[in-house]
Amino acid sequence: MNKIVLIFLFLLPNILFAQYQTRKGNSFPNGVYLNMEELKALSPGLKNSQILINDEKSNNIKKWFRSDSLFYMDSKSVKQLMPYSKIFAFVDDGILYVQRKGYDHKITVPGQLSYFVESYPIRRAASTPVAMERNKEVIPRILDLEKNEIVDFTVSVVEEILKERDEILFQEFTSINNPKKQRQVLLRFVERYNERHTISTLQN
């Protein structure tokens, strides 16, 4: 019985994430997005059917992105090479990843305000036996699709967004007088903003 409970608790975060990810109006089609405008239009510049791994078509975009070279078939069925820097984001199995500095960063709260943690390995000095630490540099970010920018995930930034775009949420958030409490509920306010302002409204 305890084993079943442990398995459920392990799977619960993934189940909840999948439910949020596919919520109406805040999901993205699979594919490779070359810029912010393609992402907002829910129209990937490269479809799954175009990507190549070892000269074979593959639907595993994350594996493709993490391979040594990014090859794809263009509209004339000619093999082409895609520079990593040309990729803005990609969606693999319904999950959105943003490309930053050659790394893919998983969006854990998708929407007009997409939350992710920008994460990079911390490298040791060249003289040490091990080149890379297990620890990582992590920076919480917001991909703001309305303003076409990536901003820091902080109380002041989110508060300013709410002030400009959602008076009801702004008043509710600023009524919380405890700064610690504000930090604790900050991500929930981002989720609620996305529920009230879906990606689909950007296309109207």
Q: In this predicted structure, what is the pLDDT of residue 159?
A: 98
Residue 115 parent element (H or E): strand 113-123
Q: Which residues of the chain have pLDDT under 50?
A: 4-23, 131, 133
Q: In this predicted structure, what is the pLDDT of residue 163?
A: 98
Q: In this predicted structure, what is the pLDDT of residue 125?
A: 55
pLDDT in tens, 86-144: 999 999 999 999 999 999 999 999 999 999 999 888 765 555 555 454 557 889 999 99
Q: In this predicted structure, what is the pLDDT of residue 124?
A: 57
Q: In this predicted structure, what is the pLDDT of residue 86?
A: 96
Which SS3 state, helix, strand or coil, does residue 156 take?
Answer: helix
Alpha-carbon torsion (148, 151, 156, 158), positive or negative: positive
CA distance 174 to 169: 9
C-alpha of 11 from chain center: 20
Q: In this predicted structure, what is the pLDDT of residue 17?
A: 44
CA distance 15 to 8: 10
